[in-house]
Chain A
Amino acid sequence: MMMTDHNDDMLEDIFAQARSIAPRPSDDLMARVLAEAVIPQAPVTARVAPRSLTERVMDLLGGWPAVSGLVTATCAGIWFGVAPPAAVQDYAAAYFGDEVSMSIFSEDTLYVAGDFIDG
């Protein structure tokens, strides 16, 4: 019990010495702390602009690479229609004949109609 009291006295004495310590922060520490006192910026959330109809269609088609292919194919189709190359023209003639005529009415129907008009 006596030993504990002595230990307590020692401890209380050391505590008191510790409490009396009042170190002054160095100028260097002061400067370092103030250098860090930068107001943190609020996180900037990227503003998402509304997407236009064109952009949405582009996305649907698969972006510019897909669209450029589509445009090339369309232009080629129109060009073949307007001025088909000789090879294509020859092939079409051989397949369909030089002149092709088609009617959506049968010939009998046309005769009947002609009788009706002629009286």
Chain B
Amino acid sequence: MNVTPDPFAGAPDEALLIAFANGDAQAAHALTVRLLPRVVAQATRMLANAAEAEDVAQEAMIRLWRQAPEWRQGEALVTTWLYRVTANLCTDILRKRRGGVSLDQVDEPADGTPSVTEQLQTKARMQALSDALAALPERQAQAVALRHLEGLSNPEIAQIMDISVRSVESLTARGKRALADIMSGRKAELGYDDD
């Protein structure tokens, strides 16, 4: 297989963004290939809905393109900025979802094969997690998602959310406790033994 070498291999995201702002369309393509999967994954984990996640990812990337001409080198990492924008867009959607019906309802299995059942159970669990995040205060939901769904460190989250590390620790601890309380009533439904 003949793979075209990446002309931007090794270049930091910020350099690519500045190259895009200076008219390099190839830099935009390289950035999209690099960053879009990460943004889609973050949004999918928080929302448990593919269509909503794609909408969020598209909006986050459009905002990045708009931000490009004003990007100041050395001020922030593009990934930090995108984590923040994506988390904010997701909590906007979760807020609207509160009290309503989840858009992505789990269908009954078409047949009884274990793989389909397993997939549906995973889907139900992801949906339950997303609904529980929607019930949390927004900052708690963001901190918990960045810590436990994205696997970021507390200092990284502090930078993304523009708060102190101590505040991150407090938000994640309270948020996780609240999530556990909310989801405890759904253990059996989600396939966990209730003992």
Please give me the residue from chain B that is nearest to A8 by CB atom: B180
Instruction: Check A10 for interface membership: any CB of B closer than 8 A.
Output: yes
Q: Which of B50-58, B75-83, B95-103, B104-112 contacts A (4 or more CB under 8 A)?
A: B50-58
Contact A37–B195 (Cβ < 8 Å): no
Give chain B's interface secondary structure class. helix
Which of A23-31, A72-80, A96-104, A111-119 lies at the interface with chain B?
A: A23-31
The count of A-to-B residue pairs whose CB atoms sit within 8 angstroms is 104
Q: Which residues of chain A (8-37) have a CB below 8 Å from chain B?
A: 8, 10-11, 13-15, 17-19, 21-26, 29-30, 32-34, 36-37
Docked CA distance A98–B171 (Å): 108
Give the residue of A11, A22, A26 whose beta carbon is less than 8 angstroms from that of B179.
Answer: A11
Instruction: Please give the number of chain B residues whose Cβ is less than 8 angstroms from any Cβ of chain A in the complex.
Output: 43
Are A39 and B183 in contact, with the CB atoms below 8 A?
A: no
Inter-chain contact B151/A19, CB cutoff 8 Å: yes
Chain A, interface size category, equals: 20 to 34
Q: Are A23 and B41 in contact (CB under 8 A)?
A: yes
Minimum CB distance partner of B40 in chain A? A25
B8 interface contact, C-beta 8 A: no
Q: Is the CB of A18 within 8 A of B126?
A: yes
Provide the residues of chain A in CB contact with B149, threshold 8 Å. Answer: 15, 18-19
Could you tell me which residues of chain B, from 28 to 75, have a CB within 8 Å of some CB in chain A?
28-29, 32, 36-37, 40-41, 44-45, 50, 53-54, 57-58, 61-62, 65-66, 68-69
Which residue of B45, B54, B176 is within 8 Å of A11 (Cβ)? B176
Complex formed: what's the CA distance from A26 to B45 in Å? 16
Partner of B180, one of A4, A26, A34, A39: A4
Chain B residues whose CB sits within 8 angstroms of the CB of A15 once the complex forms: 129, 148-149
Q: Which residues of B pack against A, CB within 8 Å?
A: 20-21, 23, 25, 28-29, 32, 36-37, 40-41, 44-45, 50, 53-54, 57-58, 61-62, 65-66, 68-69, 122, 125-126, 128-129, 148-151, 176, 179-181, 183-184, 187, 190, 192, 195
